[in-house]
Amino acid sequence: GAGVSQSPSNKVTEKGKDVELRCDPISGHTALYWYRQSLGQGLEFLIYFQGNSAPDKSGLPSDRFSAERTGGSVSTLTIQRTQQEDSAVYLCASSLVRTQPQHFGDGTRLSIL
């Protein structure tokens, strides 16, 4: 596809369940980023991938959060034992290389009941 693709677009789940969010970056983009945006707030950095490695995962808020990227392309963000404070829009972005403009997907709106 032409842009960054994220799935699902919406996810509603019960507290305590695990969720997986998927990001398919623009083809050829080596850098991939995950952010979180809570209601009415700015964007909070979570993790950065260069290829398959994650040189910066310092933004992950707790050890319940993890992410991986395989084949230098698709990435999944996993949240274990979800809590209500995890409710937010999770946004993925990619760029050709780190120092180039970032392009965002439409996000996954996660609601924890």
Q: Which residues bind other proteins (CB under 8 A)?
A: 33, 41-45, 48, 50, 55-56, 58-59, 89, 91, 93, 98-104, 106-107
Is 16 or 51 the residue whose CB approaches other proteins more closely? 51
Closer residue to other proteins (CB): 79 or 93: 93
Measured CA to CA, the distance from residue 37 to residue 41 in angstroms comes to: 6
| Rounded Cα gap, residues 86 and 39, in angstroms | 11
Q: How far apart are CA 9 and CA 5, in angstroms?
A: 9
**Least Å from the CB of residue 25 to other proteins:** 14
Q: Which is nearer to other proteins, 19 or 91 (CB)?
A: 91
Give the shortest CB-43-to-other proteins separation in angstroms: 4
What angle (nearest 5°) sits at the alpha carbon of residue 52, between those of residues 90 and 13?
Answer: 30
